Structure formats: structure tokens, C-alpha cells
Structure 1
């Protein structure tokens, strides 16, 4: 991509590289929101996916979503859909539960093209969507119930290795997408947010991305944004329902999780890589954020990875 493109400044999140290698070669992948949230944190900064569609279906909890430059705030059950290349960010409450479906662009074209690879099979698939599923009427209320049933079917089918699994998965994915598109005309109205606040929030997240490992104090972030710490906190609480400090801690914890799972670094090396001076303090910090020690998190992740690879061979 041309570096002069505005999209070049928005990172591409590669789930196969950063989270789970099963995404790398898969045409479709299902995961529970809780698994992804445990790894990436509840605040996911603006990013995009290259050649992948993604559907987040949240059963319960409050979700703050930013699709391109449009903000939404909804209580589950809700759904948001991101086509390839669309910048998006979201923050979920601690009690959020739901499902995440990731589908390769080529497979979606095939499913909507009667078995033939077809660019632009349905123009609605090119537009992001955010919809409240809990307050629909008539046939759309029945469609909302069907979305719930289909995601549970997807979850169950994905967790098996029975004959016909791939055919069933493709059928369920097509049903989910077709049912979802019925809500295209009833998309949730934007959550009223001052554009200046939204820009400040995204600029703050960019600064956090650049400097979280330097452990900047909050006043330094605020100074770089031309704000007071109180004003920065107000913006973060308004848009993410978290303090600015909590957002920084979420990013630090997210990177610690990634290094514990994907790197061969020792826990002490991870500590110093993340800018901590004392391994003991790093361990206490990580335990406070996640409820487990770094060592226990690493061992549990390895055990879970082995279980996943055994249950869902690629």
C-alpha cells in the first residue's frame, strides 16, 4: 500500500500473527469474545483487517464502537460488522459476552456468488453495520433470535471435527451474513459524540501506542495533547467508560500477554522489554490486571493452545 494513503497510518491487525496461528491459513474462524478480550484487552484501538470480514455479536454488556468516524454505544444483544479495510475500534464492559466470526474475503465472495468468485457480490457487504438486536419488531425481531441461534450453531460446529464440518460451517456463515444484511436499513443511530473529543481520544490512543513502554505519567500525555489531565480523563471516560490511566494499563497488559504467549523471552526479559525496572513489580502489576501471575498465564495459554490445536486441526 502507498505510504501516502491515509489508511497507511491505521495499523492492520493480523490475528494469525498476533493471536492464533489458526487464523493465518483459515478461510473462517470463530472465537468467543471472552477469549479475544482476555488477550487483547477490553479497549481495542483503531485498526483494520486486510481481506477479512468480521462480525461481532455481543449477547450482553455495553459496547462502545467506532466504525470509521461514526461512534455508537449499545447494550447487548447487539451486532457490529466490519468489511475489509474499514477502520474500527471498540471498548467492551467487563461483563460483555459474545461471539466473533472472521471470514476471508474470497470465501464471502464465493458464498454470495453461487460458488463463483465474484467481486462485489452485494454492495451492502462493503458498508459497516452496527445494530441493536434487542429492540427489533416483527420479522426483524425473529431475525434477531435467529442470529442468536446461528451463532450458537456456529460455535458448536466449529468445536467439532465431524464429517461434513466444512460444508456446515459455510452454510451457517452464509445464513449469518444474509440474516445480518436484513438489518441494513435499521442500523443504530450514531451515539452523539463531539468530533473533537473523538479525535482527541484517537490521538491519545496513538500516543499510548508509541510510548506505553516508556511509562509516561498521565500529565505528560495530557501536555502532548494540549489538555489538562482532568480533561483527558473526562474524554476517556465519556468515550470508553475508562480512565486514561486504565487505558494505558490495558495496553501494557495486552503487550505483556502477547509476549508471554508468542515470544521465547523469559519473564524477566519481558519485564525489561516493557520498561519495568523490577521483575517483582511487573509480576504484581500483571497479577492485578489479570488475576493471575505471568508464569501462570503463560502455562495456561500453552495448555489452551495445545487443546485448541488438538480439537480444531487446520
Structure 2
């Protein structure tokens, strides 16, 4: 599957650390759908309707809904002609300065927040000084965090844990190895994971592996045994069991149902 850079989306040969744009005024790039990004994105729809598909899950596009995607997530969407909004694209190195980790795919903006947050975005668009623009992006992200219940004081630890999980997605490190790197205990790590995600540290690890397995099943030529091995499962039957628990499908059935649909 094609993985795009910010410059690909903007049809621009110049690399950029971040970009802010108006959705309806930005020409559609000549890209494949679905696809992956190697950057973080924030898209705020202020008008219109449609469907946004992120990692095989469908979400309604509607006014005053902000969608967020992380690098590696598979993304596709369809939207009506009158759809309007704003978007922010951020290279990984830039975004991670702010401990960005979009744990949920979207957030709905309250009525009392709209005018102020939109004013911040418009100021970003008008700002020509890159440093001041970066400060404005940081402030906008802080507004998203402040207004969302998923962001708490322990977010930095969970962010680091999920980052480690993604970096080691092809290995089978025990939770104790992650907790040692994070300078905490397995019990504390698991409890914080449950508070924020509803899953234990181990189940979150398996969830991320199965999401990656879905991508590999649909968008690579690897067979099921190869995928299981690539994701650190030494036992193919255990991989199939976990996959069924997480998706209600066997790997083969999932592949047949969703490939080329």
C-alpha cells in the first residue's frame, strides 16, 4: 500500500514540517485510496457530510467534528460536494514535540468552543512567520487536549507505551520489558492503560498487533503464517485464536470478506 508524505498530498516537491489549509480550497491530490500517511493529521469539518474510514472502522463526517489520524493508519473517505473545513498536517518529528497520540479518531466540538477555536485556526492561516505558526499549532493542540476527556496527566506514559508498541510491533516483548523501559511497574502500566483505553497493557499490545495484521492481510501478498511470524507470534494457531477474539473472523474469512471491497 502506498504511504504518502505531506508533499505528496499537497502536490508539492518541497518538504515541509507542517501545513495548515482550508479543506474546500485545496485541490484533490492524485493519490491512491485507501492509503497510509507518514505524518499526523487533524481535519475539522465545519460543513458537509460523508464517511471517514480509519483502520477499517467507519465514522460519520458531520459539522463540527474533528478527525485525527496517526502515521501508519489506513485511511479512506467519501464526502459531499458542499463539505468544508480546515486541516493541519504535521511531520512526525514536529508532532511528537507535543506528545501527540490520537487515541480516539474524532472529537465533536461544543458550540461554545467553535468561534474561539476557529479564530485560532484563521490566525494560523494568516500567519506568515513559521515560528509563530508553530506556536499557534501548539496552542490549538492544547485546546484539543484540554477539551477532551481522553487526555489526562498520565497521557505521556501511555503515549510512550504505544510508541514503543508500534516500534516493536514485529517482536513479542513481554509487558515487563516495556514497563522497565518506562520506569514503572507492569501493574501500574496496565492500570493506566485500562483507565485510558479500557484495555490492559497486554490487550492493548494484542489490539495493535491485530490492527497491523488486518493491514497486512488486505494490502500485502504475505500469507497468514508469514503475517503471524512477522508480528512476533510463534504459534500460528494462537495468532488465529487472538485474531478471531478481536474481530469475530478467522484471518482467512476476514481477508475474503474485505480484500478488494
- The structural deviation recorded for 1:211 is 2.1
Q: What secondary structure, in the 3-state scheme, does the structure 2 residue paired with 1:85 have?
A: strand
1:273 aligns with 2:207: no
Q: Distance in 2 between matches of 1:22 and 1:203?
A: 22
Question: Out of 195, 205, 216, which is 2:162 matched to?
Answer: 205
User: Structure 2 unaligned runs (5+)?
Assistant: 6-16, 18-30, 38-48, 71-84, 121-142
Alignment: residue pair count: 178
Question: Out of 51, 75, 94, which is 1:32 matched to?
Answer: 51
| Cα deviation digits, residues 50-74 of structure 1 (max 9, x gap) | xxxxx975999xx99799xxxxxxx
Q: Distance in 2 between matches of 1:202 and 1:278?
A: 29
Q: Distance in 2 between matches of 1:59 and 1:22?
A: 24
Give the equivalent residue in structure 1 for 2:88: 83
RMSD: 4.5
Give the equivalent residue in structure 1 for 2:118: 184
Give the equivalent residue in structure 1 for 2:34: 20
1:232 aligns with 2:189: yes
Q: Distance in 1 between matches of 2:220 and 2:227?
A: 9
- The structural deviation recorded for 1:295 is 0.8
Shift of the 265–220 alpha-carbon distance from structure 1 to 2, 3 Å rule, reads same
Shift of the 265–22 alpha-carbon distance from structure 1 to 2, 3 Å rule, reads closer
- The structural deviation recorded for 1:254 is 1.4
Shift of the 219–58 alpha-carbon distance from structure 1 to 2, 3 Å rule, reads farther
Q: Distance in 1 between matches of 2:36 and 2:173?
A: 36
Q: Distance in 2 between matches of 1:238 and 1:270?
A: 31
1:286 aligns with 2:243: yes
- The structural deviation recorded for 1:293 is 0.9
Q: Which has the higher contact order (CA 8 A, sep 6+)?
A: 1
User: Structure 1 unaligned runs (5+)?
Assistant: 2-6, 8-15, 24-29, 43-54, 68-79, 99-129, 141-179, 305-314
Shift of the 284–22 alpha-carbon distance from structure 1 to 2, 3 Å rule, reads closer
Q: Distance in 2 between matches of 1:210 and 1:236?
A: 18
Q: What secondary structure, in the 3-state scheme, does the structure 2 residue paired with 1:90 have?
A: coil
Name whichever structure is richer in helix by fraction: 1
- CA contact 1:283–1:294 (8 Å) conserved in 2: yes
- The structural deviation recorded for 1:264 is 0.7
The structure number with the bigger radius of gyration is: 1
